[in-house]
Structure 1
């Protein structure tokens, strides 16, 4: 859309000017006007204005620096009523088929086949009494306030990032004093990485600010125009109203896109034993940036081939007063802020836990919540299935410490386990694995095994999306698939009895919990070999159903038939 001061925009091989030279138009030419005559009420290019000035020496001619006065001059189209696609034309009509304001050119070019074209003065009657129009100033004011608040939050976020950078650099320099000259290169590498992350996130903030500022100003300009036209008749008010409606859609989209990222942030974690292992390291530590897509470490605390060992076990009670039965935990996932979401099958609840694993809120589902997966930001998807006709996905957002349902989808098949990767949800039905879009559309059945019930239970997907792990409760197996459903490996082991939950970390470490053998195992990335047993019944583990690895605390969080979560600290 050409702005008030934009000279022209090109469409194909033609130019559409905000003001075209009147004299050139009479000769069939398309030339941009640079001047306007108040007396003639015509536009002139640089060549034609010379002829005009010789003939009419006393006329007042305005140039481009006074272009605002052109729009107010007789014979020109008022800004509010001007067609954005054809700036020289006024909005006189509305296409009811497309619900779109039109000028005569719009109708001739784009709406010739439309069946319902109405004159704006006809449909604008009574606009002042329209409740939505009467609420327009308040709605605009509220929206502008939201935009202004978002801008202020982003400015504070930017300042916080700079303070964070200073704090991290101070820590880096404190470490630097304890070691030798080899740190020069490490310090440079780490600070460069930090600066790059800060620059990336400040660039995102800058874009958010620019989007907010532009929409804020556009809303203000339209409201100023509407208020100045209050006595000019109903059509201008109606046009302003309709333009505001369009801006509402655009502004809400901007706010949605911007508010999805609650806060950009960067954290720093010092390498353990840095003094002893200095010669083998390239940076001072781990820089993590977080936004609505969660924390994605650029370097993992644990290498891909790391063999985990346990440091301790601790149980956390998740039973609340309103629970009627003992808890059965069927799903666990962690949010970017460190909160944990669990599903309590027996009590038909989704529970929100703080970083200390205390229940701070819960949400009741109709019946039987199963798996849960993080889908971005503070949003999760929960499987709800009653073995009969209810096969649902509940999308829940965590807002100010509360669980809020945003939408629900009904599926044509059973849904017990959920995993998310890219723009898809992977849903297990206990005999098959289905791939759905985020809108619920079924893309394909990726894998199926009808040899028993529970052949496709827990599901986990590698960070790059190339490998999928599935537990087979019926045959005591861990199945490894590629991303088109081909079976790559089948793993069995005496400790692998009734495997239920499976989890893979961003670095590719694979963990499995087993219901009957009361164990948690680490398995190699190929899904062929047991690496280590990390927990068993003697450690407080009883019939585990699901597990999740928290990179924030370097812990495995395991849930099952008890009212407690078992948190296994690993190293």
Structure 2
């Protein structure tokens, strides 16, 4: 029967009936219906209708002449057997070419050219004895259980988000309190300065008043004495005359000294920088969504010991038309939106690029920029000698919002956990984001570049430092204790270091023109990923983009190198 049915389909679907006999179909036969019972809502062939009529003599049975009434009659199809594409049709066929359940309409429209159309009753024979069929309820139950667990996890996540909101809200209130305390302190200091200045001026005024009173009394006494002596002997009159002249001269001296200043006044010039900074800051901090992906065993990037393989090297031109000098890019970082920021040392510029490394904007800094690091959201920090400039990238534009002045050189900066890790060249300091020094974490005065650049692991437990002077990668714990020192023939004058969120460590070396991958413990080299022949020239900084699974390397060139990994 199946072979006859298949051959009939190939000849134009002659045996795909518009209405099939319901009892025959239930027994695995494909028979055309000639009758329809409105009470049973079933179709019957000539053989089956006689049995039906014998049992249900009072049922209204319609023949082929009234087939138009069949179409308008309700056709009840079990939900499980209903065609997804044509809900009014029952699933009766299977297309082997597409491994798809079909109704007669599906076959007529979409599967006319298919060669493996079978009737479901033929395919379904023995299915109930199939082990996979018998395991279906168990599999459904397992999937259902997974959904229940997922729902429970999502409910817990909802609760944790509410707690997170409350915790962040408390932190924001604490920041607001600290800001209020800072403003109160600024106000107090300003008023103290004002009160001190007023007191000093009042003291000067009091002294002038006392001088006026003293001189008035002395002059009155002199007039009285002069008038008395003027009537006595000439000698006494002469003495009175001379002393009066001295008194007048002294009085004029006092007048000149006092009259130099017509009056004392105090003015106030507001520090607009405070208002400008506060106005430019839209939030107390960046709020970012963090999606913790389910760890997949087959994902090599989730394994910190995975050694990367290079798929290709590609260079992108970054020199601008008005640049006077060869680009020497000391730092690069990627922001949350996927845009990149580079610090061009030679041309004193910070430049913003889109995801395809097309230039969007740039801003000039007053001196040579040594490094740039991502703070959060669209904010970066740029190291300029002993100052740290904070720059926002908003809608493709770079805007400097504030700066921190330090008491030492600022050659590199890294941000983690709301703190700044800043290198002076021979020491690594920790600062708050507002610029308050927390402590000196590490120091090495054996050379000039013993602390060139640094990177902090995602958990904050491990810190990597490049010792350019000694050709070393130093690994520290978060208390500044030395855990490991790595040297390698391919590691000459290491400059940039970067650690990914999953613990992969990369180092670039300007002396050997190499890019290396190092194990997370900082004890051994895993691979040399790039050399001079691959486009390396004085590499100074690097950044791994998890979005594109590629490493961006910058240095003493008008181009940056993108190392795409497999």
TM-score in terms of structure 1 length: 0.51
Which residue in 2 is equivalent to 1:332?
Answer: 332
Which residue in 1 is equivalent to 2:412?
Answer: 417
**Between structures 1 and 2, the one with greater strand share:** 1
Number of residue-to-residue matches in the alignment: 323
1:419 touches 1:459 (CA, 8 Å); kept in 2? yes
Matches within 5 A, 1:147-166: none
Distance 1:371 1:189, change over 3 A: farther
CA distance in 1, matches of 2:450, 2:145: 53
Which residue in 2 is equivalent to 1:563?
Answer: 558
Matches within 5 A, 1:525-544: 525-544=520-539
Matches within 5 A, 1:129-144: none
Distance 1:565 1:191, change over 3 A: farther
Which residue in 1 is equivalent to 2:317?
Answer: 317
Per-residue deviation, residues 76-119 of structure 1 (Å, max 9, x unmatched): xxxxxxxxxxxxxxxxxxxxxxxxxxxxxxxxxxxxxxxxxxxx
CA distance in 1, matches of 2:423, 2:432: 14
CA distance in 2, matches of 1:517, 1:562: 15
1:462 touches 1:504 (CA, 8 Å); kept in 2? yes
1:300 touches 1:507 (CA, 8 Å); kept in 2? no
Which residue in 2 is equivalent to 1:455?
Answer: 450
Structure 1 runs not aligned, ≥5 long: 1-176, 210-248, 272-279, 282-298, 386-390
1:332 touches 1:340 (CA, 8 Å); kept in 2? yes
2:281 touches 2:401 (CA, 8 Å); kept in 1? no
CA shift, 1:507, in A, is 1.2
Which residue in 1 is equivalent to 2:49?
Answer: none
Matching of residue 547 in structure 1 with residue 542 in structure 2: yes
CA distance in 2, matches of 1:501, 1:512: 6
CA distance in 1, matches of 2:159, 2:523: 43
Matches within 5 A, 1:220-369: 301-369=301-369
CA shift, 1:454, in A, is 0.9
CA shift, 1:442, in A, is 1.7
Matches within 5 A, 1:46-125: none
Matches within 5 A, 1:397-416: 397-416=392-411
CA shift, 1:322, in A, is 2.2
CA distance in 1, matches of 2:504, 2:519: 7
Instruction: Give the SS at the match of 1:538.
Output: helix
CA distance in 2, matches of 1:459, 1:183: 47
Per-residue deviation, residues 374-410 of structure 1 (Å, max 9, x unmatched): 111211111001xxxxx10001111111111111111
2:295 touches 2:302 (CA, 8 Å); kept in 1? no
1:201 touches 1:264 (CA, 8 Å); kept in 2? no
CA shift, 1:506, in A, is 1.1
Per-residue deviation, residues 311-364 of structure 1 (Å, max 9, x unmatched): 111111111122111111111111111011110001100111111111111111
Instruction: Give the SS at the match of 2:446.
Output: coil
1:522 touches 1:532 (CA, 8 Å); kept in 2? yes
Distance 1:538 1:186, change over 3 A: farther
CA shift, 1:517, in A, is 1.0
Which residue in 1 is equivalent to 2:384?
Answer: 384
* Structure 1 runs, 4 residues or longer, greater than 2 Å off: 180-209, 252-271, 299-302
Distance 1:188 1:543, change over 3 A: farther
CA distance in 1, matches of 2:155, 2:300: 19
Match of 1:474 among 456, 469, 478: 469
CA distance in 2, matches of 1:559, 1:198: 42
Instruction: Give the SS at the match of 2:362.
Output: strand
Which residue in 2 is equivalent to 1:81?
Answer: none
2:313 touches 2:561 (CA, 8 Å); kept in 1? yes
Matching of residue 522 in structure 1 with residue 509 in structure 2: no
CA shift, 1:304, in A, is 2.2
CA shift, 1:268, in A, is 8.0
CA RMSD of aligned residues (A): 3.6
Distance 1:409 1:258, change over 3 A: closer
CA shift, 1:189, in A, is 6.3
Instruction: Give the SS at the match of 2:483.
Output: strand
CA distance in 2, matches of 1:511, 1:397: 27
Distance 1:359 1:255, change over 3 A: closer
Distance 1:201 1:455, change over 3 A: same
Distance 1:491 1:205, change over 3 A: closer
**Between structures 1 and 2, the one with greater helix share:** 2
CA shift, 1:301, in A, is 4.1
2:280 touches 2:401 (CA, 8 Å); kept in 1? no
1:329 touches 1:345 (CA, 8 Å); kept in 2? yes
Which residue in 2 is equivalent to 1:160?
Answer: none
2:319 touches 2:327 (CA, 8 Å); kept in 1? yes
TM-score in terms of structure 2 length: 0.52
CA distance in 2, matches of 1:186, 1:327: 55
Distance 1:208 1:429, change over 3 A: closer
Structure 2 runs not aligned, ≥5 long: 1-99, 101-135, 170-273
CA distance in 1, matches of 2:533, 2:497: 21
Could you say which structure has the larger radius of gyration? 2
Instruction: Give the SS at the match of 2:400.
Output: strand
Instruction: Give the SS at the match of 1:532.
Output: strand
Which residue in 2 is equivalent to 1:370?
Answer: 370
Per-residue deviation, residues 522-558 of structure 1 (Å, max 9, x unmatched): 1111111001111111111111101011111111110
Distance 1:537 1:198, change over 3 A: farther
